[in-house]
Structure 1
Amino acid sequence: MRVRNLTKRYGDVVAVDDVTLDFTPGVHCFAGPNGSGKTTLLRCLAGLTRPTSGVVEDVGDVNYAFQTPSVYHDLIVADNLAVFSGFASEPPAWRAKLADRLGLEPMWDRPASALSDGYRKRLDLALALLDRPDVLVLDEPLADLDPATRDAIVNTVESYAGDDRYVLVSTHNLDRFAGLADRLTVMSLGRVIADEPRGEWEDPEAAYERALRAHRSG
């Protein structure tokens, strides 16, 4: 999976500026100040936004969990999972495993509209994982969540990412992914200013700050 010379413009604004990246399976974190282009880049990769120029290559099945959860608010949790399962080919056992892993059982018969933000986020992640996509994109998955929900999401991401799966995470909470991030890409003003695999850093948050300092001083 790769992007080559990818650029996205909105009028005179260049949101992504000639980015070339090769992706490897595992957990790949994207970080950068607001407006750095990381979300636009991931939306282009997922096919949700058409780039102005450049190409996205060899991308398999992609599911995207947005910062604002996308669920059927009028349906109970069980029916949300049942409806979305109709679009997937995975067995019911996988749906049950996701519900257990994300702690959704206590909310099984509750309408999604009545869920807390944390449980709505858990449900949204379960829906994104129902068909076991090759690529899972998470946009700020931990923003404004309680500690238990953050742990549930991080643990689910850790167990899902594997030798043949990609989890791409745009986040300001790098410390929570310190133990499982395989790669860190730092963006600023639409460009990649650092792209480092695990092994070149011990703490992704420190690596992020180092990249920003070097960029500003350069």
Structure 2
Amino acid sequence: MSDGPLPTTNAPADAAELADLEADSAVEATVEDPTDESIVIEELTKRYGETVALDGITLTVTPGVHGLIGPNGSGKTTLFHVIAGLSNPTAGRIERPPDAVGYSFQEPRFYPELTVRENLSVFRSLDDDPAPVDWIETLLSELRLEPAVDRRAGDLSGGFRKKLDLALAFLSRPTVLLLDEPLADVDEYSRRKILAFFEDYSDDDRTIVVSSHNAAAFEGLYDRITILFDGEIRADGPPDDPDVARYRRFFG
């Protein structure tokens, strides 16, 4: 099921520890009492032909900021797709809040010929129950998109493209946000402002699940972290959990 050997380092001790991680078995995630705002995943499996992308995962994600960490090919994107309803599981069960799930993709998706404001207005018009118009102004300010509001989206720099994609994910004020590399190409000042916005947003019984190779940028923001490896849960708990920290040394 592995996509290939783990990365190695020049230090024999590091190489030995990486080998130990690869040999670890899956663990049972801490399953909390779910609320109406929780994501409940039970024995979830996803296969693509002979490839097992997710292997019997059981996990409850409760409101707050939840980190999803693992190497490339570990199943993080597949899990996001299943939670978002973009892909059906092969087996198992998933429950999510009835509201729409917001999704910020690793590769931003929008109408390149439209301006930033036009993109937000068009996507807002597609919602059955759109958020108030002033929510667009809030997103422009909190995500530091105001300098680019009248620029054609296709002409934006990488950082502004990512911020527009984030704004689209938050546009319907969803209960659940799935953010794939949400700070990619974003400048340091914008990062601090965006992280503060994430924290405030999640305080209102909302869930933000973050997948990022730059997990250190979210230090102090995570309420809980799940380590995904070869389609299995290898560690799960608060950021200071020893097993979580063992994996984070190499993967975030």
Same fold (TM over 0.5): yes
Question: Structure 2 CA distance, aligned partners of 1:173 and 1:163?
Answer: 25
Of the three residues 50, 54, 58, the one matched with 1:12 is 50
Deviation at 1:141, TM superposition (A): 1.5
Q: CA distance change for structure 1 residues 107 and 207 in 2, over 3 Å: closer, same or farther?
A: farther
Task: Select 1:87's aligned residue among 126, 130, 133.
Answer: 126
Q: Is the 8 A contact 1:119 1:149 kept in 2?
A: no
Using the TM superposition, give the Cα deviation of residue 168 of structure 1 relative to its aligned residue in structure 2, in angstroms. Answer: 0.7
Picking from 134, 146, 171, the partner of 2:187 is 146
- 1:43 is aligned, of 73, 81, 91, to 81
Q: How high is the sequence identity, in percent, across the aligned residues?
A: 49
Structure 1, 4-13 or 152-161: larger mean CA deviation: 152-161
Confirm or deny: 8 A CA contact 1:118 1:149 kept in the other structure. Answer: no
Q: How many residues align?
A: 208
2:210 counterpart of 1:169 = yes
Bigger Rg, structure 1 or 2: 2
Q: Secondary structure at the match of 1:100?
A: helix
Relative to structure 2, which stretch is displaced further, 120-129 or 85-94? 85-94
Distance 1:44 1:18, change over 3 A: same
What displacement does 1:147 show? 2.3
Contact 2:237 2:244 in 1 (8 A): no
What is the SS of the residue equivalent to 1:94? helix
- Residue of structure 2 equivalent to 1:216: none
In structure 2, how many angstroms separate the alpha carbons of the residues matched to 1:40 and 1:169? 14
The 2-side partners of 1:5 and 1:176 are apart by 31
The one of 128, 131, 149 equivalent to 2:169 is 128
1:150 CA displacement: 2.9
Change (3 A) 1:120 1:107: same
The alignment status of 1:97 with 2:131, answered yes or no, reads no
Aligned letter for 1:127?
A: L
What is the TM-score when the length of structure 2 is the normalising length? 0.77
Where does residue 115 of structure 2 map in the other structure?
A: 76
Equivalent residue, structure 2, for 1:62: 101
1:207–1:179 Cα change, 3 Å = farther
Q: Mind listing any 5+ residue stretches in structure 1 that lack a counterpart?
A: 214-218
Distance (whole Å) between structure 2 residues aligned to residue 11 and residue 148 of structure 1: 44
Cα displacement string for residues 60-103 of structure 1 (whole angstroms, at most 9, x for unaligned residues): 32111100001110001111111112124211111101101111
**AA in 1 matched with 2:69:** A
Alignment root-mean-square deviation, CA:
1.8
Letter in 1 for 2:136: R
For residue 41 of structure 2, give the secondary structure of its aligned residue in structure 1. Answer: strand
